[in-house]
Amino acid sequence: MSESKSRTQVKPIDFVERNNWKAFREIIRDWLAIFLIIAFSIWADNIFVYLICIWFIGIFQFALGEALVHEAVHYNLFTQKSWHDRLDFIYCFPFLRTLASYRKHHLPHHKYLWTENDYIPKEYEYLGLNKKNKKLFLILFIYPLLGFSAIHFVVEAFYDLFQDFTTSIEEKNGSLFKSLIQLCLFWFVIIYSFYLSGNLNLLLLYWFVPLLWCYSFYSLFGEVQEHFNTLSGARSNINPVINLIFHNGGYHYVHHLCATIPWYNLPKAHQAFCSDNPDISQGIFDTYRQLTHNNRDIKSPKIVKELNILRAGHLPLISSK
């Protein structure tokens, strides 16, 4: 996009593009980081190093299995639309789900944000975030560290798989059924290969432990910080380190304005369209401060107006002229 363009001239379409090189680069980066951390932990052969390493593994699991999968859900990774589903064994199957399942779960969140058709309000109710005397620190940190987020992750994963299987049979959805079979075959091959090589313990220690404990922890915090206790409906965390690691996943408000903008253009789009948004965080501690802030004095008409702006399709890709 030309730097000479003024803010009033900029349109969302100026930021919409696809780049295969950047997509594969980010996927490789995350897998490489995971493998290097695993190798270092095995080399160190120390329980304390292991406990630190699995939390770093969980970080890159989340970057791959949430941030990049989220991009794939919106067809933002590759120039060829079909590649997103054909390659989901690289970035989606390892996290016990299919891209079709994620898409079915996620897209209503954009279209029906904060309505009964959006899963977020139900999720916050389940977590106890709507209670007057909630203990936010316990909900976001202590309970997940004790394993409650892991239980939630496992239950949700298998419930979604069962629902998808039922749906594929009832609706005779061949593509959904095929993706579920592929997922099962993927994990059969992975588990059987590790079993034959005598390294099943490595799969457990270096994939499932960080996935169930650490990834689920980051996932829970991420879902809460993106929308809970916001004035505009969505929060953006513009911390550069966080966005470097998580593929600009912190720029959430502008993502809701135009979900077809790829991750690498979100910072520029944020500056162009919503740099003055009231829900902007500078980092984790600032986010936690905002989560605990009392927003009850904000009048509902303002909130409703902001939510209507965020719902999918409001911001056009091209000028209305």
Please, are residues 211 and 58 in contact by the beta-carbon 8 Å criterion?
Answer: yes
Residue 192 pLDDT > 90: yes
Q: Is residue 296 in some structural domain?
A: no
Q: How confident is the model at residue 85 (pLDDT cuts 50, 70, 90)?
A: very high
As a whole number of angstroms, the distance between CA 206 and CA 195 comes to 15
Q: Could you report the per-residue pLDDT of 194-237, keeping only the tens digit for each?
A: 999 999 999 999 999 999 999 999 999 999 999 999 888 899 99
In 3D, which of 227, 273, 272, 266 has the Cα closest to residue 246? 266
Q: Is residue 80 in some structural domain?
A: yes
Residue 189 pLDDT > 50: yes
As a whole number of angstroms, the distance between CA 12 and CA 257 comes to 9
Q: Is residue 263 in some structural domain?
A: no
Number of folded domains in the chain?
Answer: 1
Which structural domain range is residue 132 located in?
15-233
Q: What is the mean pLDDT of residues 50-59?
A: 98
Top-confidence residue, 261 or 319: 261
Q: Is residue 136 in some structural domain?
A: yes
As a whole number of angstroms, the distance between CA 219 and CA 196 comes to 32
Q: Is residue 62 in some structural domain?
A: yes
Query: Which tokens in the block code for residue 49?
Result: 């190093």
Q: What is the pLDDT of residue 132?
A: 83
Q: What is the pLDDT of residue 9?
A: 79
Burial class of 203 by CB neighbour count within 10 A (0 to 12, 13 to 18, 19+): middle
Angle between helices 47-62 and 216-227 (to 10 degrees): 40
Residues 6+ apart with CB under 8 A from 298: 231
Burial class of 262 by CB neighbour count within 10 A (0 to 12, 13 to 18, 19+): buried
As a whole number of angstroms, the distance between CA 265 and CA 161 comes to 33
186 to 98, 133, 157, 197, 296: CA distances (angstroms): 11, 45, 16, 17, 48
Q: Is residue 280 in some structural domain?
A: no
Q: Is residue 249 in some structural domain?
A: no
Query: Which tokens in the block code for residue 119?
Result: 């899963």
Residues 6+ apart with CB under 8 A from 76: 18, 259, 260, 261, 262, 263
Top-confidence residue, 52 or 293: 52
Q: Could you report the per-residue pLDDT of 130-155, keeping only the tens digit for each?
A: 888 889 999 999 999 999 999 999 99
Q: Is residue 164 in some structural domain?
A: yes
As a whole number of angstroms, the distance between CA 193 and CA 183 comes to 15
Q: For residue 217, which phi and psi values (nearest 5 degrees)?
A: -65, -50
Q: Could you report the per-residue pLDDT of 149-166, keeping only the tens digit for each?
A: 999 999 988 888 888 888
Average pLDDT, the chain: 89
C-beta neighbour count of 120 within 10 angstroms: 17
HEC string of the chain?
A: CCCCCCCCCCCHHHHCCCCHHHHHHHHHHHHHHHHHHHHHHHHHCCHHHHHHHHHHHHHHHHHHHHHHHHHHHCCCCCCCCCHHHHCHHHHCHHHCCCHHHHHHHHHHHHHCCCCCCCHHHHHHHHHCCCCCCCCHHHHHHHHHHCCHHHHHHHHHHHHHHHHHHHHHHHCCCHHHHHHHHHHHHHHHHHHHHHHHCCCHHHHHHHHHHHHHHHHHHHHHHHHHHHHCCCCCCCCEECCHHHHHHCCCCCCHHHHHHCCCCCHHHHHHHHHHHCCCCCCEECCHHHHHHHHCCCCCCCCHHHHHHHHHHHCCCCCCCCCCC
